[in-house]
Amino acid sequence: MIRVQIPATSANLGPGFDCLGMALELYNIIEMVPGSRGLTIEVSGEGASDIPRDESNLVYQAAGRVFRQAGYTPTGMKLRLFNQIPVARGLGSSTSAIVGGIIAANLLTGGGLSIKDIISLAASIEGHADNVAPAVLGGIVVSVQADDRIKSLKIKSPQGLRCVVAVPDYPLATRASREVLPNQVSFQDAVFNVGRTALLVAALQQGDLSLLGTAMEDRLHQAFRSSLIPGLKKVLAAAKLAGARGVTLSGAGPAIIAFADSNLELIAKVMGDTLRQNGVKSRVLILKPSPVGARALEVK
């Protein structure tokens, strides 16, 4: 039996569209047990009523890619999924399924894939590496695609950094959230984001939270997505007023993530209240960045 734990992730961190992400201390656990026949999938926790129990299951699909590469044909398989990561909210639930399936299958077939192979394979399934790389490596990760490989580098999370995450009660598919984005942006807006992404990486690296307000601003995606998240602009402003250092949409949304080192309860309250005033029910989580990425808890 193989048991793997995978962290939630938040991508973009504001301006770093498709290239920045961080792991959070909220985990899914996948158990993979090779069996004599058939496929059995049990799901508990987040998504228990919706996640497919057949061969279309994302964990199974991702594992299948590794099995085919390794020339392994399982006669049967049992998967048990214990989910803490809210599904389709911008917190990397699909990434966790892909990364977990790949790592479990890799362990089952003798570990032929390196960490870099795992990141590149997972990113090719997911479509981008910004959630995948921190899910595998932990911490905050910069990643870019170069030809068919992913180049990534981990930054340690600043000490004392906490994340206040408002999770709306409705799902938003990443595809739908990308459909509202323009095909072209202005040179000025590209420059705006390049500068802030660079500043954000430097600020995080040096633990200078005072720069996050400016460094987490974005002009490439958030404003276009605000029609999909009622009250987004107001939540961003309210969280900052309550003491957040920076605040942004988490990945493709609809979750909204604030970075802070104090006033956590107040920030959580105003984010939830502001969403409610805009007709959106939500729950608010206070999370630490996860220094560790996906890891095997048991291999036997």
Interacting residues with ligand HSE (CB under 6 A): 11-12, 17-18, 128, 130-131, 174, 177-178, 221, 251-252
User: What CA–CA distance (Å, rounded) separates 29 from 297?
Assistant: 9
Chain centre to alpha carbon of residue 120? 16
Among 232, 201, 234, CA closest to 216: 201
Minimum distance from CB of 140 to ligand HSE (Å)? 14
Minimum distance from CB of 76 to ligand HSE (Å)? 33
Minimum distance from CB of 62 to ligand HSE (Å)? 15
Residue 177 or 274 having the CB closest to ligand HSE: 177
With beta carbons less than 8 A apart as the criterion, state whether 46 and 285 touch. no
Residue 17 or 259 having the CB closest to ligand HSE: 17
Residue 32 or 287 having the CB closest to ligand HSE: 287
Residue 67 or 259 having the CB closest to ligand HSE: 259
Minimum distance from CB of 101 to ligand HSE (Å)? 17
Minimum distance from CB of 263 to ligand HSE (Å)? 27
Minimum distance from CB of 289 to ligand HSE (Å)? 17
Residue 178 or 288 having the CB closest to ligand HSE: 178
Residue 95 or 107 having the CB closest to ligand HSE: 95
User: What CA–CA distance (Å, rounded) separates 14 from 23?
Assistant: 15
Minimum distance from CB of 114 to ligand HSE (Å)? 22
Minimum distance from CB of 241 to ligand HSE (Å)? 25
Looking at the DSSP bridge assignments, the partners of residue 38 are 76
Residue 131 or 242 having the CB closest to ligand HSE: 131
Residue 118 or 264 having the CB closest to ligand HSE: 118
